[in-house]
Amino acid sequence: MTNIILLGPPGAGKGTQARKLVDEKGMIQLSTGDMLREAKASGSEMGKRVAAVMERGELVTDEIVIGLIEEKLTSGAASGGFIFDGFPRTLAQADALRELLDRVGLSLDAVVEMRVDDEALVSRITGRYTCGDCGEGYHETAKPTAKEGVCDVCGSTNLKRRADDNEETLRQRLMEYYKNTSPLIGYYYAKDQLRSIDGLAEIDTVAASIAEIVG
């Protein structure tokens, strides 16, 4: 069992690669972004509180996301291992994750840094959409649906764009990444857990680099 963090700016391909690991290696994806979007869609009190923060591209509080991860980690074991996707995003979250893993008797095996450049991120983010039913991800030019408006995987026509996938919000999300999240690169490098890969390569090439690390 291997537990990994996928680290990288918005649009680096973390979600795409996490889905592949789930399908191919039976790992469990823990995406705080997905959990927060679910909370928002369900109309819960917490969901209402985070909605505006997310739409501005800012980070929600450490307390909220740590609570979400704690709930998942303590409510079941993953035989294939966990993929932390979009978490941790601050040094405080990284410390909290270490404590949580200790508490449940798990360890972190690797932190995969997906390197991409900012220009690629804008076109990746502004062109992407997802099937609202099965979660498959698409992109206007890089990976369009075979039939316009219909999901290749499940046939649904419920294709959606994220509210925060616009150029202006992306600028704020990138700022948050450089300010709060990129220090984690040094943090995990110092712990000898960082493995950096080229996130600009083709999806399958990136997947192969990650497979080498996951084993």
Tokens of 160: 């959606």
- Pick the catalytic residue from 20, 37, 124, 128: 128
User: Least Å distance between CB 155 and ligand AMP?
Assistant: 25
Under a CB-based contact definition with an 8 Å cutoff, are residues 55 and 169 in contact?
yes
- Number of Cβ within 10 Å of residue 114's Cβ equals 23
- Considering the complex, state which of residue 128 and residue 151 has its C-beta at the smaller distance from ligand AMP: 128
Cβ neighbourhood burial of 104 (10 Å; 0-12, 13-18, 19+): exposed
Spell out a b/e string for 23-50, using b for 16 or more CB atoms within 10 Å of the CB, else e.
eeeebbbbbbbbbbbebbeeeeebbeeb
- Considering the complex, state which of residue 181 and residue 209 has its C-beta at the smaller distance from ligand AMP: 181
Angle formed by the axes of helices 91-104 and 62-74, nearest 10°: 20
Query: Is 37 a known active-site residue?
Result: no
- Pick the catalytic residue from 20, 37, 89, 124: 89
Q: Give residue for tokens 């709060």.
A: 180
- Pick the catalytic residue from 49, 56, 162, 195: 162
Under a CB-based contact definition with an 8 Å cutoff, are residues 98 and 108 in contact?
yes
User: Least Å distance between CB 180 and ligand AMP?
Assistant: 8
Least Cα distance to 127 among 98, 73, 166 occurs for: 166
- Considering the complex, state which of residue 150 and residue 187 has its C-beta at the smaller distance from ligand AMP: 187
- Considering the complex, state which of residue 123 and residue 150 has its C-beta at the smaller distance from ligand AMP: 123
User: Least Å distance between CB 89 and ligand AMP?
Assistant: 4
User: Least Å distance between CB 30 and ligand AMP?
Assistant: 10
Query: Is 128 a known active-site residue?
Result: yes
Contact residues: ligand AMP, CB under 6 A: 10, 32-33, 36, 53-54, 57-60, 65, 86-87, 89, 93, 164, 173
Query: Is 14 a known active-site residue?
Result: yes
List residues with catalytic annotation: 14, 89, 128, 162, 173
